[in-house]
Amino acid sequence: MANKSVLFKIKRQASPSTEPFWEEFEVEYRPGLNVISLFMEVAVNPVTRAGKPTTPINYDSNCLEEVCGSCAMLINGKARMGCSALVDNLEQPITIEPFSKFPVIRDLQVDRSVLFENLKAVKAWVPIDGTYALGDGPRILPQVQEQAYQLSQCMSCCCCMEACPQFNESTGFVGAATIAQARLFNMHPTGKVLKQERLAALMGDGGIQECGYAQNCVEACPKDIPLTRSISDVGGDVMKKAILDFFRT
């Protein structure tokens, strides 16, 4: 092959109950390639490097511009988004694996519903449902908006959870994303009505106390969300609640 090529290997798995296996691929180099475009090349010509015909790679993706949070995977061992992982910046052969702490559905597609369950457990929403119009909501100061905006960028990719040493099956830790979302909705003048419930939820088993402050979450977050700050902030709120509950209930 006269042209430059890109070497990569993928940890694949046909179904949730079958054993994983590795396949190596080689595609022609183009400037600006990212990891998802490598998979697109494989889909065009699903043949391994050894020349063996195979199936196209199964993976979640949607926006391809690091906004939707779908294509999170382990690239050279680190949790990140496939779409923003540029081949030019990656060491070859690129190793691509599904997230290790989430059940594999097929190939790189994993079941991340635990985050949805966690968001439901902390009531990560603003309750406005009612039988009549409530009128305009309270005004939110621009300073609060700025803080809230950062947190609102969370796209549920789960990179913070995958990279967290405390997020595992023995702790059942809730993870940084959910704590940051609890902070976001506690900041909201209407969302605040559920603040005590959110804090109480985060004091249950697997709650905020399981954080070991390794700070991987904030390093891994593709959206640069201030996750450790959120954990400290909510950590303080939770302590205040615990102490007040101790003396006043």
Partner 1 sequence: MASTAQSTSSTLPKGVAPLRAGVGNSFLWRRLHSLTGIVPVGLFLLEHFLSNAEALNGVGAYNAQVKFLTGLPFRLGMEIFGIFIPLAFHALYGVYIWWRGENNVIDYPWAGNWFYTVQRYSGILVFAYVTYHIWYMRFAGVHLVDHYDASFWKVQHELSHQLALGIYVVGVIAASWHFGYGLFLFAAKWGIVTGKKAQKRAQAAGIALSILLMLMGLATVYAFVTAEPQKKNPVWDQHSESAPEQSRLIPQSTPSSQAR
Residues at the contact surface with partner 1, assessed by CB under 8 A: 16-17, 77-78, 101-104, 111, 114, 117-118, 121-122, 161, 163, 165-174, 178, 200-216, 219-220, 226, 228-229, 231-240, 242
Cα–Cα distance for residue pair 185/194, rounded to 1 Å? 8
**CA 220 → CA 74, 216, 227, distances in Å?**
11, 6, 10
Cα–Cα distance for residue pair 83/90, rounded to 1 Å? 13
Nearest approach in angstroms of CB 240 to partner 1 is 8
Question: Which one, 3 or 89, has the nearer CB to partner 1?
Answer: 89
Q: Sort 88 into a burial class: Cβ within 10 Å, 0-12 / 13-18 / 19+.
A: exposed
Question: Which one, 37 or 70, has the nearer CB to partner 1?
Answer: 70
Nearest approach in angstroms of CB 119 to partner 1 is 9
Question: Which one, 27 or 202, has the nearer CB to partner 1?
Answer: 202
Nearest approach in angstroms of CB 233 to partner 1 is 5
Cα–Cα distance for residue pair 144/34, rounded to 1 Å? 36
Contact residues for 199 (Cβ-Cβ < 8 A; gap 6+): 182, 186, 234, 237, 238, 241
Which alpha helices (H) appear in 15-174, and where do they start and end?
Answer: 35-44, 113-121, 142-152, 159-163
Question: Which one, 61 or 118, has the nearer CB to partner 1?
Answer: 118
Question: Which one, 20 or 137, has the nearer CB to partner 1?
Answer: 20
- Note whether 201 and 207 are within 8 A (CB): yes
- Beta pairing partners, 118: none
| Phi/psi at 159 (5° precision) | -60, -40
Question: Which one, 107 or 237, has the nearer CB to partner 1?
Answer: 237
